[in-house]
Amino acid sequence: MIYLKTPEEIETMRSSSDLVSRVLGEVARWIEPGISTRKLDTIAREFILDNGGKPACLGYEGFPGTLCIEVNDTVVHGFPSDYILRDGDIIGVDTVVEKDGFMGDSCYTFAVGTVSEDKLALLRTTKESLYKGIEAARIGARIGDVSNAVQTYCEHRGYSLVREMTGHGIGRSMHESPEVPNYGRRGIGPRIQNGMCFCIEPMVNMGSRNIVIGPDGWECRTRDHKPSAHYEHTLAMLNDKLEILTTFDYIQEAIPDKFI
Ligand code: MF3
Ligand code: CO
């Protein structure tokens, strides 16, 4: 069942979404060759706690980090570790923050140092596809319209969409109904109505869409080990208008010269 939020609840969602956006802005300042992903995780956790939030991924079904770390062929759910970022890597940072009882969820994939043209193109297309999905998420549209917009945009550019993981409703829980797949047909799925809060999060592969889950039961990589990119916003339908509650503006402010 889809929990529709009151305008007051959506106001609270604004503050968790703003905080998760600021976390990614803070992490952005530190991303460079030579830093470990564990260090990024510590920075994020302290930032969240200092700002009155709760790191919602930490301990979620046993997940061991504040951040999900997605380096190169990691699609989602990588653990923070002693891995040291290298020039030419891409790193997705996905995290959820709880504030005043509501969640905010966002993800951004960064370039570390100088990355190849083909990786840059993947990042650009993936981020653009998120906004194509957002454009399709009009009042009265169906979730399938969003899915189809993301899928066609990426597939026309030669990329593939991961199917096993999806976007999702969000609110007091990080994952609520409905699922928001990154592939599918127009005209199917639930209708988007006022009070709905959900996340769109394309996970886009340079090669095939196939994935493998690692021995820890979490880390999801591409089967062909080609790179994957991931961006995510938390959204709310309020007064017939879709509002993007999270923002990448803090990232842009933090790394104006490196912002993709
Ligand atoms: N942020 C992820 C999502 O978009 C979920 C994180 S999984 C967790 O749904 F276990 F790390 F919390
Ligand atoms: Co999400």
Note the pTM of the prediction, 2 decimals.
0.98
pLDDT digits (tens, 9 = 90+) for 14-46: 999 999 999 999 999 999 999 999 999 999 999
Q: Which residues, judged by CB distance below 6 Å to any ligand atom, belong to the binding site of ligand 1? A: 57, 60-61, 63, 68, 77, 94, 96, 105, 168, 199, 201, 232
DSSP three-state, residue 254: helix
Q: Whose CA is nearest to atom 8 of ligand 1?
A: 57
Mutation probe of ligand 1 site: the residue of 27, 95, 96, 182 with most atoms within 8 A of C-beta = 96
The amino acid occupying position 159 is Y
E-state strands within 66-111:
68-71, 74-76, 90-99, 102-111
Q: Which ligand is nearest to the CA of 96?
A: 1
Q: Which ligand is nearest to the CA of 220?
A: 1
* CA dihedral for 190, 193, 197, 203, sign (positive or negative): positive
Which residue, 96, 119, 118, is CA-closest to 107? 96
pLDDT digits (tens, 9 = 90+) for 70-117: 999 999 999 999 999 999 999 999 999 999 999 999 999 999 999 999
pLDDT digits (tens, 9 = 90+) for 196-215: 999 999 999 999 999 999 99
User: To 10 degrees, what angle do helices 37-50 and 7-30 make?
Assistant: 140
DSSP three-state, residue 57: coil
Strands 220-222 and 74-76: antiparallel
